[in-house]
Amino acid sequence: MDMSSREVLIEAYGLTKKFGEFVAVDHIDFEVYRGECIGFLGPNGAGKTTTVRMMYCFLMPTSGVLKVAGLSVNTSCREIKALVGVAQQEDNLDPDFSVIKNLTVYARYFDIPQAEALKRAEELLRFFQLEEKRDVSIMALSTGMKRRLIFARALLNKPQILLLDEPTTGLDPQARHLVWDEVRLLKKQQVTVILTTHYMDEAQILCDRILIVDQGKIIEESVHLKIYII
């Protein structure tokens, strides 16, 4: 893929995040282009999630430069959050709300009108095969269903950039392929996708480029990924 003429949407230079003396992300440089699916591949604790959390202003960098759509994460968090959809690893769904209400209430953060929010929520529940669970409590969902709902919620604001942090962890094969189908569709729509994963097959299938991360550093970049684990 020729990236020379593509628009840079996310750029990081010398990006570093420390927690006390522990260096979680260690002076990394990378660029992400509009419409690209880029994967951060590595073991648990490699720094993938920390990097993603800085992209949507959940964490602030200790040092270095990180810009999203030309906006600095240090000064423009509100504007950046309006452009981004996030599917986190953690289950942060509201247990007091039904499935549909988890989506429609979340839509308020983006000032989406109530009728439009309901329409989008119904469409997403159909796509992720959750329409039969529309009015049930979150507590009645399986782990896989919760993961699918978190993904659906991340798409409510029709983001330009979608951040997927280990999106298929805990999913059965059918649900995993549903997530893959949605990522492929979003790529066709020129949505930029950032994917963290420790599944090599997932990275190979979905990503245009792979950044292999270990101990807070990017140790390799690959377009055509072929990895052998010994």
Residue 223 is predicted with a pLDDT of: 67
| CA neighbor of 57 nearest in space, from 35, 72, 37 | 72
User: Per the domain annotation, does 1 fall within a domain?
Assistant: no
Domain of residue 213: give its range. 8-222
Mean pLDDT (the chain, rounded)? 89
Residue 224 is predicted with a pLDDT of: 52
User: Per the domain annotation, does 107 fall within a domain?
Assistant: yes
Q: Could you tell me the CA-to-CA distances from 79 to 68, 75, 110, 147 in Å, in that order?
A: 10, 9, 11, 26
User: Per the domain annotation, does 41 fall within a domain?
Assistant: yes
Decide: residue 162, CB within 10 A, 0-12 exposed, 13-18 middle, 19+ buried: buried
For position 142, which CATH number holds? 3.40.50.300
37 beta partners: 193
pLDDT at residue 149 greater than cutoff 70: yes
Cα 208 from chain centroid (whole Å)? 15
pLDDT at residue 50 greater than cutoff 60: yes
Residue 185 is predicted with a pLDDT of: 87
pLDDT 10s digits, 164-189 = 998 887 778 887 888 888 888 888 88
User: Per the domain annotation, does 229 fall within a domain?
Assistant: no
Residue 157 is predicted with a pLDDT of: 93
Q: Are 72 and 66 in contact (CB under 8 A)?
A: yes
**Is 133 or 176 the better-scoring residue by pLDDT?**
133
pLDDT at residue 203 greater than cutoff 70: yes
pLDDT at residue 4 greater than cutoff 60: no
User: Per the domain annotation, does 2 fall within a domain?
Assistant: no
Helix (H, G, I), strand (E, B) or coil at 99: helix
pLDDT 10s digits, 69-122 = 999 999 999 999 999 999 988 888 999 999 999 999 999 999 999 999 999 999
Q: Are 156 and 106 in contact (CB under 8 A)?
A: yes
User: Per the domain annotation, does 227 fall within a domain?
Assistant: no
Q: Which helix (H) or strand (E) holds 34?
A: none
User: Per the domain annotation, does 47 fall within a domain?
Assistant: yes
In angstroms and rounded to an integer, the radius of gyration of the C-alpha atoms of the chain is 17
Q: Could you tell me the CA-to-CA distances from 97 to 85, 104, 132, 226 in Å, in that order?
A: 21, 10, 16, 44
User: Per the domain annotation, does 230 fall within a domain?
Assistant: no
Sheet holding 209-214, edge to edge: 84-87, 161-165, 192-197, 37-41, 209-214, 217-222
**How many domains are contained in the chain?**
1
Residue 143 is predicted with a pLDDT of: 85
